[in-house]
Structure 1
Amino acid sequence: MPQTLPRRVLVVDDDPTVSEVVAGYLGRAGFSVDRAADGPGALERVAAAPPDLVVLDLMLPGLDGLQVCRRLRRGGAVPVVMLTARGAEEDRILGLETGADDYVTKPFSPRELVLRVESVLRRSPPGTVRGGDVLCGGGLLLDPAARTARDARGELGLTLREFDLLAHFLRHPGRVFSREDLMTAVWGWEFGDLSTVTVHVRRLRHKVEADPSRPRLITTVWGVGYRFDAQGTGRCA
């Protein structure tokens, strides 16, 4: 049986102590780790050898983490876990709005970061991604095995979590999910910051709705959660 190569993680942090500690914990968890100390260096490493995931500090010289995350999103769908020394909610939400799949606030437990990285990668090829039939609904076509989603305009540039969130909605049309339900089903967490779900629903609406301010596909059920309302949703023939 061929040996499975370790998943590759790029750690981007200008603090050498933090970078060394994070790389050490990830290495002991079985990951292959590369490091960069600034934004331009991170982009060069990603271009030369795309990693499976990037652990990205928000405050970086050259280009900050938000700028790097935006450029990574334009270039592909590499998952990003963002590190921030700032605990304000607006900073966390800004990171998620930029396209980060998750975030960890400094000071953090390195073991917690490893668990977050493992959680994100479980949803990312070539991990244990749930395959199955192609899903249709609301003018959307989603192929779980190929990790592609399209509408009449063409392929949708969805992040890792956005893709899994849309797949979950398409598999359960007409059912209302609370934010706690979605965090468990899509993120695989029993607890966490529910604003993560709110931000990802908003980002997904901007990509799949004709008018995100008046959504017809992903509707809000006030006081309960969200529901996917398209007719004819389900597995495609």
Structure 2
Amino acid sequence: MTILLIEDDPSIAQIVTDYLEKESFTIMWCEDGELGYNTFLTNTYDLIVVDLMLPKMDGFTLCEKIREHSDVPIIVVSAKQSDFDKVRSLEIGADDYVTKPFSPFELTARVKAQIRRYKRGAQPQAEYMFFQDVKIDRKGRRVIVDGEAIVLTAKEYQLFLYLAENPGQVFSKEDLYTEIWNGDGFDSRTVTVHIKNLRYKLKDGKKLPKYIETVWGVGYKFIGIPGK
């Protein structure tokens, strides 16, 4: 997957490039808004990272012009921390907003989360998903175990559905927090508690799990066997 990075600070661009390339992304870097826009027009990208304070064309204008042609995910990365700048960025088409200084790990997690959302939204989804004793009713936003609907909070449902939609993929707690809680104020305990509650309600043992497996030192993955 290819990411267009539009950032006028070479040191920040290098850090972002190094971290994203470790995750097997290909990075195209442009150091001003005008070059970034022209590069966008001549290539196809899976996501765009945009600084707001750019020479030749500012980030706000750039986002607006990109949105005239594409719904590709856009993450704004900026030293501007006011609510006005964040709201304006989101209103003109940005999908996420990260303030400088930022954690490269957090930015990487947000990049992966936005790409997953975009790819998932482009694919048709079945109304039901079946795994052993579990049935997920997407339309009704319900999880049914052994023929009986269990009571899940909104976040528990979102978390379980997200894991089920990405079977076998290992997610760190930060990955899950970024996806389900939008990444603000990362709290690993929140993820741990929700996983614990899901296991209890699903009657999914931690030692011999059927659905959610702990990958020690990394995070969690979904291991449910598809059925009907």
Aligned residues between the structures: 148
Write the distance in 2 (CA, Å) between the matches of 1:68 and 1:115.
23
1:190 positional shift? 2.7
Note if 1:34 corresponds to 2:28.
yes
1:116 is aligned to 2:110:
yes
Cα deviation, 1:34-62, whole Å, max 9, x if unaligned, reads 00011111111111112111000011011
CA distance 1:45–1:30, shift in 2 (3 Å): same
Conservation of the 8 A alpha-carbon contact between 1:87 and 1:105: yes
State the superposition RMSD in angstroms: 3.0
- Give the TM-score taking structure 1 as reference length: 0.55
| CA deviation profile, 1:165-214 (whole Å, cap 9, x unmatched) | xxxxx9459xxxx99799978972235459xxxxxxxxxxxxxxxxxxxx
Which of 112, 128, 131 matches 2:124? 131
CA distance in 2, matches of 1:65, 1:77: 16
Cross-structure match for 2:194: none
Which residue of structure 2 aligns with residue 10 of structure 1?
A: 4
Spell out the pairing of 1:28-177 with structure 2 (5 A cutoff): 28-125=22-119, 130-132=123-125, 171=139
Cα distance in 1 for residues equivalent to 2:40 and 2:71: 12
- 1: distance between equivalents of 2:68 and 2:79? 25
Matched position secondary structure for 2:71: coil
Paired residue secondary structure (1:103) = strand
TM-score (norm 2): 0.57
Indicate if the aligned counterparts of 2:77 and 2:100 stay in contact, CA closer than 8 A: yes
Which stretch of the first structure deviates more once superposed, 80-89 or 181-190? Answer: 181-190
Q: Deviations over 1:78-134 (max 9, x none)?
A: 110001101111111111111101111000001110000000000123x68552269
Counterpart Cα distance in 1 of 2:72 and 2:117 = 12
Distance in 1, matches of 2:157 and 2:40, equals: 31
CA pair 47-191 structure 1, distance change in 2 beyond 3 A: closer
Distance 2:118 2:75 in 1: 13
Partner SS state of residue 69, structure 1: helix
Cross-structure match for 1:160: none
CA contact (8 A) 2:110 2:183 kept: no
- Aligned AA for 1:41? L
Q: Take 1:118 and 1:182, find their aligned partners in 2: how far apart are those partners?
A: 21
Question: Greater CA deviation, 181-190 or 106-115?
Answer: 181-190
d(CA) in 2 for partners of 1:192, 1:38: 28
Please point out which of 168, 173, 180 is paired with 1:189.
180
The runs of 5 or more residues in structure 2 that have no matched partner are 128-137, 142-152, 163-177, 186-228
Whole-Å Cα distance in 1 between the matches of residues 58 and 125 of structure 2? Answer: 39
Question: Which amino acid is 1:120 matched to?
Answer: Q
Describe the SS at the equivalent of 2:55.
coil
Secondary structure, counterpart of 1:100 in structure 2: coil
The percentage of aligned residue pairs carrying the same residue is 32
